[in-house]
Structure 1
Amino acid sequence: MGEQADPARVLEKIRIAEETRRSRFIGQEAITLSHGAGGKASFELIEGLIGPAFSNPLLDSLDDAAVIGLPQGLRLAFTTDSYTVSPLFFPGGNIGSLAVHGTVNDLAVSGAVPVALSAGFILEEGFSVTQLRAIVEAMALAARKIGVPIVTGDTKVVPKGKGDGIYINTAGVGIVRAVWHMGRDAVQPGDRVILSGSIGDHGVAVMIARQGLELEAEIESDTSPLHELAARLIDGVGSALHCMKDPTRGGVATTLNEVAQGSNCAIAVDEAAIPVRPEVNGACEILGLDPLTLANEGKLLAFVAPEAAEKALRILREHPLGADSVIIGEVEEGPAHMVYLRTILGGRRVLDMLVGDPLPRIC
């Protein structure tokens, strides 16, 4: 049988961790790569240092985009992101297309139609103009396919040895189409958890490209824009759609933990239901990685009221990017903030968010 968790003991550990998280940075002297991985160390950085400094109602929700109310009932979604992926070019995409897709996806899962993007480039002296042209053209093509213009930006150059070729920062604005509240705090017990397809493709593709590994199977990043998929869900199931997330840094495991914390609920998922391509699973076994903690750049998680779950599933499967959508679990009343994995062996174990940083600079 799989490892059985004692909910009371684990809940007490989480309570203690939450009480001390804001003080975790007292005495810390340096940032590590783990602080950028999107897992536990990232949360300690945000909740212990950055979040308290800028605290306000829009920021404190920690959703993928801030939703800002405007006159006449209009609501604007606003997001920003930075991209440091290494290598810059990988099977299925590059840092340019990834930057556009990632920013659009943060708007999409917030219930918004993307309206405009910005692009900021930090270039290292000596960076190849040929590579820069390829990256910029990939960004432009991705933006045109989505139908969202890049309307403003900035370029800075740092001395040779003071950067790593190119970093890209993007911001995006969109008009929120959902007239009801969506977010982690809207998730309710009984909600079904829907995943739009197989996981781990992006993380494994980047790792293989970075290490120059030669595998028999060809694995490409899943980097894709999710705006059409999200819009279909919003139109199709309406207010039964309580939350959407794109499981990027830290993967599905970290994203589920974020939702459990934000909703004060528990989440139980079935290991057997989570789709992982055989070649990705095989690569993870060779590399010692867990697909559940690997970044995805073209998948979404949807939390839907039980009466609308099957309809949501049908809607997602009608789109090429959601053809392999599955229900992987459900939201439970408690213990609050817990995520459980019902294992293939019939046990039940705690599924924690990413600890450490097995794959830095993944996006």
Structure 2
Amino acid sequence: MDVEEYVRRKIADGKDENAIQKNLVDHILGIKDVNPSYASAFARAVIEEVKNTRGLSGDFFEYEPAGVRMGEFGVGSRGKGDFFAHRQIARIIGKTSASVGVDEMDDAGAVCAGGKYIICTVDGMHSRLSDYPFLAGFHVTRATLRDIYVMGAKPIMLFSDIHVADDGDVAKIFDYTAGITTVAEAMDVPLVTGSTLRIGGDMVLGSRLTGCVGAVGVAEHLTARKSTQAGDVLLMTEGAGGGTIATAAIYSGFPEVVERTINLNFLTACETLMKSSAFAGIHAMTDVTNGGLRGDVFEMAETAGCRIVIDESAIGGLVEPHVRDMLEKLKIDYLGVSLDALLVVAPRNAADEVCRVVRSAGVAMHTIGYVETGKPESVLLVDGRERDFSPRFRESAYTPVKKVVDTEVRDFDEMKEGVLRASEAAIEKKRRVLADLRKKN
């Protein structure tokens, strides 16, 4: 519970301060093992701090509201709303000197230094793995290393960030770190730095864990999405999923499936590819994560300006059997959920060799589609007929709660207007503050 937001909302609603304090004390005592006098003093202090922030105005204290909540716009849910929000972030950052910038919506960014490409990326842990810190650390580390590998880079170091709410057990930090370093040591990539903080400091009650892991790599041959060309084919490996599939399994009553997600198949496949002569012929790579194959192929088509056709009949066999069985029982669309499979884009005449190399690492792989000229879009071939393959509003609902949330959707175009207005206001604020700083300096 965010006690600061609770008080801020109640004061804005004109509620009596004594009533706010009494109710907040009840909330505090329901979560924290403290005496009533401490809870009362704490509640009073929160109210005073919130009152001291009222009436602040100007660029440093206000922002233009979008009138759209994160959840209802699907931010973080890897669908249309999330992609739109990320493109606004790219607009605020603007065009930079990066070799691969955020405007290209790739798996990682790249800059050129010393004649080589330096690749950097960061991934947030799955929010629903808060009570399973080892799994959270393992899967987020594997995810960030995937993003380095698919840019054609060799990862050289990892960094982490861990935030635990005020009432969380300190052991969560250690278990999370153990998950990170299990992958780090297996792949011989050192964890070199990080940060450990509480979520919201004193203001958030509970034991929620969140955090991220980032990685840095070095490359000579970039395999960014923009290198996708008409005439290429798409090759995909078998996927057993990561944090998303583990979450679906835990919260839907299939805990035995979690172990299927604990593997290094993706990373070893990339290592094997990068050591082979076949690697030089690869145009682009990505991992099947953002909204599943629907989301990633759509983004690739937009970034490269090509039309991508996927054959549905070629995909099903590349979902790990236990995972596929679970998804079918839960009626979860495997095309719209993160499978953590490797997707390679290469010339048709290089496909067989790429597949042979990956299979030599013990990982299944075959062709699932092709790239052609035309309107930038993604389509799905079902029984020889083309169907729309664009992302849905959110990724496939993969937990009971998500299936409920998926039923509440506001008008998307109306929400987009508010989001766009807020992003433009942020751009203007950046320009104002930058201009002022340049005058001062």
The TM-score bracket by the shorter chain reads: 0.7 to 0.9
Q: Which moved more, 1:103-112 or 1:235-244?
A: 235-244
CA–CA separation in structure 2 for the residues paired with 1:218 and 1:46? 30
Write the mapping of 1:75-154 to structure 2, written as runs, cut at 5 A: 75-88=117-130, 94-154=135-195
Structure of greater Rg: 2
Q: After superposing the two structures, state which structure 1 stretch, 98-107 or 213-222, moved more.
A: 213-222
Q: By how many angstroms is 1:290 displaced?
A: 0.5
2:70 aligns with one of 28, 31, 37: 31
Amino acid at match of 2:376: H
Structure 2: runs of 5+ lacking an equivalent: 1-63, 403-441
Q: 1:50 and 1:346 mapped to 2: Cα distance?
A: 38
Tell me, in whole angstroms, the C-alpha distance in 2 between the residues paired with 1:312 and 1:264.
Answer: 24
Contact 1:112–1:177 (CA<8 Å) still a contact in 2?
Answer: yes
Contact 1:126 1:160 (8 Å CA) reproduced = no
- Determine helix, strand or coil for the equivalent of 1:86: helix
Which residue matches 2:5?
Answer: none
Matched position secondary structure for 2:260: coil
The answer (yes or no) to whether the contact 1:88–1:94 under 8 Å persists in 2 is: no
1:55 to 72, 94, 99: 94
Tell me the residue number matched to 1:342. 381
Provide the aligned length of Structure 1 versus Structure 2: 327
Of the three residues 64, 80, 94, the one matched with 2:107 is 64
1:59 to partner: Cα distance: 2.4
TM-score, normalising length: structure 1: 0.81
Query: Normalized per residue, which structure has more helix?
Result: 2
Amino acid aligned to 1:339: S
Q: How far did residue 359 of structure 1 move?
A: 4.0
Checking the alignment, whether the CA contact within 8 Å between 2:155 and 2:216 is kept in structure 1 is yes
Distance 1:223 1:337 in 2: 34
Residue aligned with 2:70, SS: coil
How large is the RMSD of aligned CA atoms in angstroms?
2.8
C-alpha distance in 2 between matches for 1:270 and 1:194: 11
Q: Evaluate the alpha carbon distance shift between residue 228 and residue 198 of structure 1 in structure 2; reply closer, same or farther with a 3 A threshold.
A: closer
Q: Please give the residue correspondences for 1:308-347 in structure 2 after superposition, counting only pairs within 5 Å.
A: 308-320=350-362, 323-334=363-374, 336-343=375-382, 345-347=383-385
Shift of 1:326: 1.3
* Structure 2 SS opposite 1:283: helix
CA deviation vs aligned residue, 1:56-100 (integer Å, no higher than 9, x gap) = 2422222111111113x1221111222133134679x60011121
Q: Identity across aligned pairs (percent)? A: 23
* Deviations, residues 103-133 of structure 1 (Å, cap 9, x unaligned): 1111110111111111111111121234432
Classify the secondary structure of the residue corresponding to 2:251.
Answer: helix
Q: Which has the higher contact order (CA 8 A, sep 6+)?
A: 1
Aligned to 1:42: 82
Q: What are the equivalent positions in structure 2 for 1:1-363 lying under 5 Å apart?
A: 28-32=67-71, 34-47=74-87, 49-57=88-96, 58-71=101-114, 73-88=115-130, 94-157=135-198, 158-159=201-202, 161-162=204-205, 165-178=208-221, 181-198=222-239, 203-211=244-252, 213-214=253-254, 220-221=260-261, 224=264, 226-234=266-274, 235-274=276-315, 275-297=318-340, 299-320=341-362, 323-334=363-374, 336-343=375-382, 345-357=383-395, 358-359=397-398
Match of 1:10 in 2: none
| Residue type at the aligned position of 1:140 | T
- Cα displacement (A) at 1:35: 0.9
Is the CA contact (8 Å cut-off) linking 2:135 and 2:176 kept in structure 1? Answer: yes
Task: Please tell me the residue identity of whatever aligns with 1:85.
Answer: S
AA of the residue aligned to 2:342: L
**Distance in 2 (alpha carbons) for counterparts of 1:114 and 1:318:** 22
CA distance in 1, matches of 2:245, 2:180: 22
3-state SS of paired residue (1:188): coil
Q: How far does the alpha carbon of each residue in 1:142-186 deviate from its partner, in whole angstroms, 9 at most, with x for none?
A: 2111111111111111337456521112221111142xx432221
For the 8 Å contact 1:84–1:166, the answer to whether it is kept is no
